[in-house]
Amino acid sequence: MADDSIGLLLTAEQIGARVKELGAKISHDYEGRTPFLIGVLKGSLVFLADLARAITIPVNVDFMSISSYGDGTNSGVVRILKDLDESITGHDVILVEDIIDTGLTLTYLLATLTARRPASLEVCGLLDKSARRIVEVPIRYKGFDIPDEFVIGYGLDHEGRYRNLRSIFSVKDMAVLRDPDEVAAVLDASEA
């Protein structure tokens, strides 16, 4: 399949190895404590599931679901669609994100969570697209730096699709995403 509209960026094996390292680091840093892993739905779903199992100390898991206000205007102001089930006050919190792009979403979330007075608050982000950063954000645990390309797979979607791909693919030509059959053909070839 000679199609360079979509390219394999990170294999499932590369991701798995890195997630294991992040899990080991977190297990070491939080030894004797029980951190709260907070996943930002829906993109962090797959990453959080793997990360939690790579951590060897006890953890709590909770989720938030958010949506950006409006389209296009990236103000970073988000609406909380589903808030945490539990209080994080006095707990060690690790916010788990799929990708940090402009940093606006994360900045908003950190402010929101900080106001709840956790004992500590750190960020674990799988992908860092730093070329697009508007606001600097502290990423304590980072998976990979990636170029300024749109990526899908391993939780990351385009209009709700492709979250279930085991690897991460970068889309060079966004037009290809208009034809799911063509995408499927390219992916079949590389995920086989």
CB of 85 vs ligand IMP, minimal distance in Å: 21
CB of 90 vs ligand IMP, minimal distance in Å: 27
Binding-site partner at residue 124 among ligand IMP, Mg ion, none, CB < 5 to 8 Å by type: none
Residue least distant from Mg ion (Cβ):
43
Distance, in Å, from the CA atom of 6 to the CA atom of 12, rounded to the nearest integer, reads 16
Distance, in Å, from the CA atom of 122 to the CA atom of 138, rounded to the nearest integer, reads 8
Q: Length of the chain, please?
A: 192
Binding-site partner at residue 103 among ligand IMP, Mg ion, none, CB < 5 to 8 Å by type: ligand IMP
Give the sheet arrangement for strand 36-41, strand by strand: 78-82, 60-68, 36-41, 92-100, 120-128, 141-145
List residues near ligand IMP by CB under 6 A. Answer: 43, 76, 97-106, 150-151, 156
> What are the backbone dihedrals phi and psi of residue 82, each rounded to the nearest 5 degrees, phi first?
-140, 120
CB of 90 vs Mg ion, minimal distance in Å: 27
Distance, in Å, from the CA atom of 69 to the CA atom of 82, rounded to the nearest integer, reads 15
CB of 102 vs ligand IMP, minimal distance in Å: 3
Q: Active-site residue among 50, 98, 101, 128? A: 101
Q: Which is nearer to Mg ion, 32 or 72 (CB)?
A: 72
Q: Is 101 a catalytic residue?
A: yes
Binding-site partner at residue 125 among Mg ion, ligand IMP, none, CB < 5 to 8 Å by type: none
Q: Which is nearer to ligand IMP, 57 or 61 (CB)?
A: 61
Q: Which is nearer to ligand IMP, 30 or 162 (CB)?
A: 162
Q: Which is nearer to Mg ion, 98 or 122 (CB)?
A: 98
Report which of 123, 120, 109, 127 is spatially closest to residue 43, judged by C-alpha positions. 127
Q: Is 75 helix (H, G, I), strand (E, B) or coil?
A: coil
List residues near Mg ion by CB under 5 A. Answer: 43, 98
Report which of 106, 153, 139, 166 is spatially closest to residue 25, judged by C-alpha positions. 139
Give catalytic residues, as residue numbers. 101
